[in-house]
Chain A
Amino acid sequence: MEKVLELKGITKRFPGLVANDNISFDALRGEVHALVGENGAGKSTLMKIITGLYQPDEGEMFLKGEKVKINGPRDAIAKGIGMVHQHFMLINRFNVVQNIILGYENSPGGVIDFDKAKKKVEELCELYDFKLDLNAQVGDLSVGHQQRVEILKVLYRGAEILILDEPTAVLTPQEVKELFVNLRKLKQEGKTILFISHKLDEVLEISDRITVLRRGKVIGTVKASETSKKQLAEMMVGRPVLFRLEKPIVKTGDVILEVRNLKVKGSIDRHQLNNLSLSIRAGEIYGIAGVEGNGQRELVEAIMGLLPYDGGEILIKGKSNKGLDTRAIRETGVGYIPEDRHQRGLVLPMTVWENMVLGLERKPEYSRWWKLFRDKIKSLTSKKVEEFDIRLGSIELAIRNLSGGNQQKVILARELSYEPDLIIAAQPVRGLDIGAIEFVHKKLIEARNNGKAVLLISADLEEVLSLSDRVGIMYNGEIVKEFVPGELELEEIGQYMLGAHKEVGVG
C-alpha cells in the first residue's frame, strides 16, 4: 500500500528537554495507525510538528513520497492533513454548519451562502454515515456529536490524513463504539487515520499498526494483530506493568470519617444529598461507585467545607466540621485531591515549587511572618520531584507547562506531605496515562497501608472495585448499597448505579 505520510529523523528540542528525538515512522492509505505513549512521551509535540504548529529542529517529512515543509495549520489542511483535537476546537455559540465552514467559507464577495454550505455538509454526512443535527448549536450537542463536527470539519476541507488526539478520552463506551464505526468507514474510503491514545484496549481494537513512543523516542512499530496489551504497556513504560494491584490485608483502626444523614438541598448547579451516611476507618479505602452527577461532588464539597449542608453531620476524627472553613478542615488532617485539578488543585501560572506549598505556606517550616523560606521550599520540592518521579525541566516552570500526570503528582505529593489521616481523592486518575495511574494507585494503597482512611470517588467502576476495601454505590444523592468488592456481580452493581434497585444503605 501507498505510504501517505512518512517522517524521517524528526527531532525537536525545548529548553531543558528533547521532546522528539530522531522520530521516524510512516502511515499508509486506508490505515489506522496508533501512536501510543505516556503523557510527556512526545506525542503532542510530534502532532504539532505534523500540523505545522512547530517546526522540527532536524528531520524531514514526506507526503506521498514528496518532501514537504508544513508552515502552519492552514498549510497542513491545504496539504490534506486534518487535526481533530482532544479539546475540541469548536465555537459553542455557532451552529454545526457555521463551525464546519469557518475559515473555509469559499465565498467570493464575502457573503456566505449558508444553504449551499449546509447542502455540502449534508452530502458529507451521508457519505460517511454521520448522524448529526446540522441546525443545532454546537454547545448543545453531546460530546460524541461534537466530535463528529470536528471530524466533519477536517473532511470538509478535503483531509486525507486525519489525526485524532485522544478521541475516546471524553466519550462514553457507547459513543466510543459509534466513533469506531465512523472510523472504519473512513478507512474504507481510503483515509489515513493517526490515532493517538494511551487506552490500550481501544488501540488494539481499532488500529492496524501501533507505534510506541517513550521519552521522545520511537520504541517500535508493531502490528495490532501481533501484539498484546501487556507487551504494549511494557514498551510504553519501559518495565513490566502490573494491571492487578497488590493489596495486603491491614487491620482497620478507629473511625476517621463519619457522615450521618447528610442533607443538601438541590438547586440548578448542585445535586441534592438525601440522608447520606457512611463511615471510613483508618486503614481503609472506601470507594464511591456511581454515574457522575449523582451527588458525589456535593458530598466531597460538604466534607471539605466548600458547600454548606442543610442537615446531618460530618465528623472527622470525631469532631464535627460544621462551621469550619476549608483551611481549618485541612488542618485537622484531611488531604484533598480535587476532581478538577486546574480549577481547584493548582494555580496554573504559578511555578511548581509555589504550587507545592499551596495551602501549607503558613506552616512554621515554610514561613515566618511575611517571609517565605524559598530555599527550604525549593529543596523540599526538589526532593518531592525525585520521590514522586515528576518529570519537568525545572521547578521554576509555571505548572501549566507540565503534563496532566505530572501535575497530579505535584498535588499528590503536596497533599500527602503533611501526613493527613483522611485523604479525599476525587477522580484521582482522570486523564492520566498508565504509568501515572499505576503510581497514583500505589500511593493511595500505601497511604491506606500506613493507616490512613481514604475516600475514593471515581467514575471508573473498575478502578473503584480494584482499589476499595468497601464500596458504596451512590444514586440520586444517596448511598443505595454498600458491599465488599467481589460480593456483587458487575451487572448487579450496574443496576444499583442506574437506580433499578432501591435499598437504604447500611451506614
Chain B
Amino acid sequence: MGDIMEMLASALRMTIPVLITALGAIFSERSGVTNIGLEGMMMTGAFWGAYGALHYGPVGGFLLAIAMGMLVALIHAVVTVTYRVDQIVSGVAINILAYGLARFFSIALFGMATTSPSVEGLPKIDIPVLKNISVLKPIATDISPIIILGILLVFVTYWVLEKTVFGLRLKAVGENPLAADTLGVKVIPYRYIGVIISGAFAGLAGAYLSIEHTHMYVEGMTQGKGFIALAAMIFGNWMPYGSFWASFLFGFAEAISMRVVQSKVVPYQFIKMIPYVLTLLVLAGVVRKAQPPASVGIPYSREGD
C-alpha cells in the first residue's frame, strides 16, 4: 500500500506541470487559437523561474516565470491574432525562439550554456487532516504548494469557463467568432487574453520544473511536456476535468517509466518512451471522438479575407 501511495505521489508530481500547461491551453484553444508554442513557453518559464529564484527567492522566480511566459505568449498572440499568421507556424517558431533565447540568456546570466546554479524551492507543506491518515501520508505531507495550486486551478478553470461572463464570451469567440462579433463581443481582445493566460500557465508549469522539481534549470528539461499537455487537453476534450485525468494518465505513465528505469529490467530507452508512445496512441485513438472548438486554428477578420 505504501508503495502504491509513493507511486501516486510521484505520479502527481509528474502530473502537475502537464496539468497546469494543459489548463492554460484550454483558455487559448477555447478562444480559438491553437498554441503549439506551449513547449517554448514552458522552457521560458523554467529558465526565468530558475533565474528569478536565484536572485529573488522562489516566489520571485515563479512571478518572473509567469511574466516571461506571458510575454512569449504575447508574441504568439500578436502574430496569430493580429497578423493572422498560421497558428502552427507561429507556434513552431516560438518553440525555436524560446530554445535559443534560453541558451543565450543562460550563457549571459549564468555563464553556463545548459544549466543554472541550484536554487531553493518553496517551503514544503502538509495538507491538514489528510496528513493524519497514515495511508495517505506520501501524497499529503511534504509536498510542493504548486501541486495544491495546480489542483485548485482545475476547479477555477471550470468555474471561469462555465459560470462567468468572461468564460462564456471566451468560448463563444472560439466557437463562432463571427456570431460573437455580431453580438458585440470583441473577438481580438478575448483571443489575446486566452493566449496570454496559456503563456502564464505554461510559464508557471515550467518554473515548477526548475524550482520545485530539480531545483535548477537544465536545458531541454521540459522534454516535450508542452506537447504532451496539448495532447492531454485534447484527450480531455478541451475541458478542465477531462484534462486533469488525461494529465494524470501521462503523469502516471512517467512515474512508472521512472520506476522501471530504476529496476533495469528492460533497456531504459524503451521505458522512457512510454509517456510519448501513450501520447501517440491516445491522439490516434481518441481524437476522432473529440470535439474541438469549432473555430480553433482559424484566424478571424471581419471582412472574411
Residues of A within 8 A of B (CB): 53, 72-74, 77, 83, 85, 88-94, 98, 101-105, 107, 110-112, 153, 349, 398, 400
B178 touches A89 (CB 8 A): yes
Q: For residue B178, which residues in chain A have a CB less than 8 angstroms away from its CB?
A: 89
B183 touches A89 (CB 8 A): yes
Give the interface centre of A89, A101, A102, A398 by most chain B CB atoms within 10 Å.
Answer: A102
B166 touches A89 (CB 8 A): no
A111's partner among B163, B176, B185 (CB-CB below 8 A) is B163
B165 touches A105 (CB 8 A): yes
A98 touches B182 (CB 8 A): no
Given contacts A72-B184, A91-B171, A101-B168, 11 further A-B contacts (CB under 8 A): A85-B182, A89-B178, A91-B175, A92-B294, A93-B294, A102-B180, A104-B183, A104-B184, A153-B183, A400-B304, A400-B305
Give the interface centre of A89, A93, A103 by most chain B CB atoms within 10 Å.
Answer: A103
For residue B230, CB closer than 8 A to chain A, the reply is: no
Interface residues of B in 176-203 (CB under 8 A from A): 176, 178-185
Q: Complex: how many Å from CA A83 to CA B302?
A: 16
**Shortest Cβ distance from A105 into B: residue:** B165
A103 touches B164 (CB 8 A): no
A107 touches B165 (CB 8 A): yes
Shortest beta-carbon distance, B179 to chain A, in Å?
A: 4
B180's partner among A77, A103, A107, A111 (CB-CB below 8 A) is A103
Shortest beta-carbon distance, B30 to chain A, in Å?
A: 10
Shortest beta-carbon distance, A168 to chain B, in Å?
A: 21
For residue B66, CB closer than 8 A to chain A, the reply is: no
Q: Complex: how many Å from CA A94 to CA B176?
A: 11
For residue B76, CB closer than 8 A to chain A, the reply is: no
For residue B214, CB closer than 8 A to chain A, the reply is: no
Residues of chain B at interface, number, CB under 8 A: 24
Shortest beta-carbon distance, A490 to chain B, in Å?
A: 39
A89 touches B179 (CB 8 A): yes
**Shortest Cβ distance from B295 into A: residue:** A91
Q: Complex: how many Å from CA A157 to CA B304?
A: 26
A73's partner among B168, B176, B184, B291 (CB-CB below 8 A) is B184
Q: For residue B168, which residues in chain A have a CB less than 8 angstroms away from its CB?
A: 94, 98, 101-102, 105, 112
Q: For residue B166, which residues in chain A have a CB less than 8 angstroms away from its CB?
A: 110
Q: For residue B293, which residues in chain A have a CB less than 8 angstroms away from its CB?
A: 93
A110 touches B164 (CB 8 A): yes
Shortest beta-carbon distance, B165 to chain A, in Å?
A: 5
Q: Complex: how many Å from CA A98 to CA B291?
A: 18
Q: For residue B175, which residues in chain A have a CB less than 8 angstroms away from its CB?
A: 91-94
Beyond A93-B294, A110-B164, A111-B164, is A102–B182 a contact (Cβ under 8 Å)? no
Q: For residue A104, which residues in chain B have a CB less than 8 angstroms away from its CB?
A: 183-184
For residue B169, CB closer than 8 A to chain A, the reply is: yes
Beyond A89-B178, A93-B291, A103-B169, is A112–B164 a contact (Cβ under 8 Å)? yes
Q: For residue A73, which residues in chain B have a CB less than 8 angstroms away from its CB?
A: 181-184
B169 touches A102 (CB 8 A): yes
Q: Complex: how many Å from CA A24 to CA B32?
A: 41
Q: For residue B163, which residues in chain A have a CB less than 8 angstroms away from its CB?
A: 111-112
A91 touches B165 (CB 8 A): no
Shortest beta-carbon distance, A254 to chain B, in Å?
A: 47
A111 touches B165 (CB 8 A): yes
A74 touches B184 (CB 8 A): yes
For residue B172, CB closer than 8 A to chain A, the reply is: yes
The 8 closest A-B pairs by CB, nearest first: A74-B184, A103-B183, A89-B179, A91-B175, A105-B165, A103-B184, A73-B182, A103-B185
A89 touches B165 (CB 8 A): no
A91 touches B182 (CB 8 A): no
Shortest beta-carbon distance, A88 to chain B, in Å?
A: 8
Q: For residue A94, which residues in chain B have a CB less than 8 angstroms away from its CB?
A: 168, 171-172, 175
Q: For residue A89, which residues in chain B have a CB less than 8 angstroms away from its CB?
A: 176, 178-179, 182-183
Shortest beta-carbon distance, A241 to chain B, in Å?
A: 32
